[in-house]
Amino acid sequence: MTEHGPFIATWPEATAWATRREFLANCFALSLLVAPARGQDSAGRASEGDAVLLALIGTLLPFEDPRFPQVSPQRLLERLRTLLPQENDEQRVAFQQALLLFDRPDAFPDPAFMPREAGIADDYWPQIVADEQSSLLRFRESLREPADRFRDFQLVDQRAYLTLWARSGLGPRRRFYRSTKSLVMVTAYSMDEFWQAIGYGGPLLEGGR
């Protein structure tokens, strides 16, 4: 059941299912790029993962705009959890590892040591590697305040870091950005406050309401 009652119970669940599947697949792909984190229990990883996800929500949506619906990032996180259940330990670990990898710019593997992605010509791959390395260096130099984690960046730097992933020449980065943004947007626009803000009264059903 959604916030809007049983009459539209198939939306956003149906929409969220495809988004959720894509997001978890991209988390799994990212998690394969690094060795499993050690020295931290699953509860600690989950707590840190939630902190990163909360920062992502706050970065992707314009909470600072006075016209924005009166919904807190924490409430959106709670709503997102209902749309993104992890069904097994493998999904949970991949989800948490991907978020923690995103959180720390220096934790992402140096593209120079990554295998060339399928579909990219051998002679083009070195340029992608060089562009990725220089983009991260420029980002580091542009930080308003030094910080090692995305969740600790200032908002303007968080958005710059997201843009770096969105425009990356590396498929795993672009796909993670795209699926994360889709998941957050599906979550937001499944809530009453967002429907009201855009003047949407819900789907028209045969026979009316």
Query: Do 21 and 186 touch, CB atoms closer than 8 A?
Result: no
Query: Do 79 and 187 touch, CB atoms closer than 8 A?
Result: yes
Residue 201, in any domain of the structure? no
> What is residue 5's DSSP assignment?
B
Residue 205, in any domain of the structure? no
Residue 136, in any domain of the structure? yes
pLDDT per position as a tens digit, 147-176: 999 999 999 999 999 999 999 998 889 999
CA distances from 109 to 21, 57, 147, 164 (A): 24, 25, 19, 15
Range of the domain at 154: 6-194
Amino acid symbol at 112: A
Confidence at residue 111, expressed as pLDDT on a 0 to 100 scale: 78
pLDDT per position as a tens digit, 34-61: 655 555 556 666 788 899 999 999 999 9
Residue 74, in any domain of the structure? yes
Confidence at residue 201, expressed as pLDDT on a 0 to 100 scale: 72
Greatest extent of the chain over all pairs of C-alpha atoms, in Å: 61
Residue 98, in any domain of the structure? yes
Query: Of all residues in the chain, what percent are helix, strand and coil, respectively (each to 5)?
Result: 60, 0, 35
Residue 21, in any domain of the structure? yes
Residue 20, in any domain of the structure? yes
Confidence at residue 42, expressed as pLDDT on a 0 to 100 scale: 60
Question: Torsion-angle region of residue 114: left (phi > 0), alpha (psi -120 to 50) or beta?
Answer: beta
Counting the structural domains of the chain, the total is 1
Query: Do 53 and 80 touch, CB atoms closer than 8 A?
Result: yes
Residue 202, in any domain of the structure? no
